[in-house]
Structure 1
């Protein structure tokens, strides 16, 4: 029997694509004025790209563990870093719920390792998103946070 995506996962994936689309469109828009502080350049774009990444990884986590997996006990949303770390833990100790990631893949263990590697790489994007959203810093200022 084929594995179907949960509605919550589909919603998160679709929102991820929408955020990425808006970010890409905004890159093509002309700048209205010169920026006074160069660090602010592309802060909104990196915020949207980072949000897209977070939503995509949340969609995977929700698919594997249910819609409450991205929530704390206090019913607030977990930070991106926590969601990424928890999902990596699941990937490293696979359960039958992860079959959607490896269905039809000849070497499931190697594929999961590649997914873990990609998620670890996306942690930098999550940090850049936080800088764009919370401190108005663009991607060129990530190392200066």
Structure 2
């Protein structure tokens, strides 16, 4: 009986792991790429990469941090197309690079087959015709 239970647990593990990526709620971690784009010339200066985390609650609340950049994230999420993907409205504050303080909007798009989510956020304020951007590949 015991070996049957172990076999069942082992065979279900990949399915359970894949299910982690069918909903956007929960904890996410990975490298966050912070950069500024100019409409006519593309990237403005080199991007900076910081390890960070997001926690998305079942009620849609979002909290996160990028400790080495001193950034704190807070805001809300809603379903986007399905319960696997989210539209995000986040405020970033306390960042060492002040260009990244402010309101951001974007999407968290899950890829259950490859077991990651792609995050793309754009600043909602103008920086002299430039836009602050945040991108990340996040995992559970």
Higher relative contact order (CA 8 A, sep 6+): 1
Same fold (TM over 0.5): no
Q: Return the structure number with greater strand share.
A: 2
Q: What is the TM-score when the length of structure 1 is the normalising length?
A: 0.27
Q: What is the TM-score when the length of structure 2 is the normalising length?
A: 0.28
